[in-house]
Amino acid sequence: MWERLLLDFLKQVVHAGRLTVVMPDGRAHDFGSGTGAPWVTVRLLDEDLPRKVVLNPDLAVSEAYMDERLTIDGDDLHAFFEMILVNLSQRRSAWWQAPLALSRRAMRRLAQHNPIGRAQQNVAHHYDLSGALYDLFLDEDRQYSCAYFPRPGMTLDEAQAAKKAHIAKKLLLKPGMRVLDIGCGWGGMALTLAREHGARVVGVTLSKEQHAVAVKRAEAAGLSDRVDFRLTDYRTLSESFDRIVSVGMFEHVGAPHFLEYFRTVERLLDPDGVALIHTIGRETPPGVTSPFIRKYIFPGGYVPALSEIATAVEKTRLWTTDIEVWRLHYATTLRHWYDRFMARQDEARALYDDRFCRMWRYYLLASEMTFRHDFQVVYQIQIARRQDAVPLSRDYMY
């Protein structure tokens, strides 16, 4: 039964390209027109895999690939994701997937419940991995968010510097301003704002590993008197700030906490203050987090729809003063990260093991191809307490 359901599903979904599925007993089945997407051969080496894929395709395929119970000829994971996402972008599905999707939507508030305490556990799962891992593929400043590529041919370091400069312009900084960096990571943005713009920055993170590195970086740069890194939840703060910046952190807030997040921003922002929120977003209605991403990469994480963000902001007294949409910038960033990771994969294997490397490859490539083919973008949302807190045109940025 399970094998038949799987084959029926693939027949309905796969129209572009060519997918050959070799079942555990050696029988091969072909799907697709052969045009419009890559040709891929997938081999299922576990007799129970058809059942698992039918019940939870995202998690079953990812785990089987990690465990080598599913292999791709030539290990061409890039072609596999392109073929799958090109076809899934047509939004075809089998009848039996509807109740599974409904159950996941019903449980999404519980999966994204991130109160103080649990939020720190979720952050530790990903960001407290060995710092040596991130050194393998990030830029020199350890920017673990979308870079900005205004010109072709830019290096990763150049594009990450361009991202920070672009955000700084939107913050309209003046020397001596107090800035809050929510989710400061390893400190790169905070140190840049202090060093290049004369800001006095409070950076908060829930990652012990990130906090330790950021503090050392501030000391080494001679900026400890102007940058205060704290291991704490942003919701516990009571000071007020001229500017608030948050880069790549909103994806960890969770939909049940969106209003709490923006009410906290409103509370902490001075009357003349400006905030800039940089977040991955979906160009579709609200959805659910990939089971693979939720289990192995970002527990409690969720990529928001713009409608969800706007709904939360509307319930505060904040003004939305600018929204910018970055489309393929993150796909390019992820391709840089993937290439750099693959060039040093042996070092990653020495830190962890081959299964971890396969998981990380899967994560980086799945993310890249999602930005290329599945309606995922980056939003930069500028908000303020007053309507005229920023100039009335964007000319000030250029």
Of the candidates 66, 60, 143, 109, the one whose C-alpha atom is nearest the C-alpha of residue 300 is: 109
pLDDT for 137 beyond 60: yes
CB 364 within 8 A of CB 336: no
- Model pLDDT, residue 276: 98
Return the minimum-mean-pLDDT range out of 6-10, 138-142, 326-330.
Answer: 6-10
Largest CA distance in the chain: 69
- Model pLDDT, residue 102: 55
Q: 114-397: what CATH class? A: alpha beta
pLDDT for 209 beyond 60: yes
- Model pLDDT, residue 120: 58
pTM over 0.75: yes
Band (103; pLDDT cuts 50, 70, 90)? low
- Model pLDDT, residue 138: 97
Band (398; pLDDT cuts 50, 70, 90)? confident
Coil, strand, or helix at residue 181? strand
- pLDDT tens-digit profile of 246-258? 999 999 999 999 9
- What residues does each domain of the chain span? 2-106, 114-397
- pLDDT tens-digit profile of 18-72? 999 999 999 999 999 999 999 999 999 999 999 999 999 999 999 999 999 999 9
Of the candidates 185, 155, 148, 154, the one whose C-alpha atom is nearest the C-alpha of residue 170 is: 148
- What residues pair up with 176 in beta bridges, in sequence order? none
pLDDT for 97 beyond 60: no
pLDDT for 145 beyond 90: yes
